[in-house]
Structure 1
Amino acid sequence: MKTQYTEQTTKLLELLKKGKDFKKLKPDNNLENSFRVTLNVSSYNELNLMVSDLLKASIILLNKDARSMSVLKDDVNVMTLLEIALQLLPEEEMELLDDLHQFHLQLL
């Protein structure tokens, strides 16, 4: 029984050593227990458009009158919102999560 736990612990430690693959969140040295996420943009204009689309989408979703309008004066560029979401997905971290999930299933 002790050997089984030792093997499981060793395997778990090996998986956790992969933790160096946690690259999406960077520690924020100015705030305790906070992290930063990098969002790649090609220019200030692109950054402005992204923020503008996020604000427009939020206004539309929060305002019943805006939601009910069939044609909006300023359309939201959904592609921009999807691009932001794609950049924020932690792809490399998901591989470690899959490994940890497999390890968990073996313990059941």
Structure 2
Amino acid sequence: MEEKEHKVVTEFLEIMNKINFFTRLKPENRIDNSFSVTLKVSSYNELQLMISDLLKASIMVLQDNSTNINAMTLVEIAFQLLPQDEMGLLDDLHKIHLKA
């Protein structure tokens, strides 16, 4: 019986190695076993609209106590999507604009 189970596991692993499964999550940090996921957008404007929609959906979920949607998950996704480095650039550009 144990030999049969070993054979099944071996076949499964061979199939997994032949076919490119599990490609969506990319290892990010081996210490805490975190992963990253690529999200394609066409522009910063589209990214901003996505973040805005996530935050609006979070507000709606928080206002409606009957839903099983976790608003915290939506807010976390929105937070991770914020282009923080670019916001610093906008601050620098705004300072230059104020001096002009």
Counterpart of 1:42?
Answer: 42
Write out aligned runs for 1:1-108 (5 A): 1=1, 4-18=4-18, 20-29=20-29, 32-64=32-64
RMSD: 2.6
**Equivalences, count:** 64
**Amino-acid identity (%):** 53
- Code of the residue aligned with 1:21 in structure 2: it is F
- Pick closer, same or farther for the CA change 1:33–1:19 going to 2, 3 Å: farther
Three-state SS of the structure 1 residue aligned to 2:17 is helix
Q: Give, in angstroms, the shift of residue 30 of structure 1.
A: 7.5
Q: 2: CA distance between counterparts of 1:59 and 1:22?
A: 33
Greater RCO between the two (CA within 8 Å, min separation 6)? 1
- Pick closer, same or farther for the CA change 1:54–1:2 going to 2, 3 Å: closer
Q: 2: CA distance between counterparts of 1:42 and 1:31?
A: 32
Q: Which runs of 5+ in 1 are unaligned?
A: 65-108
Q: 2: CA distance between counterparts of 1:63 and 1:2?
A: 54
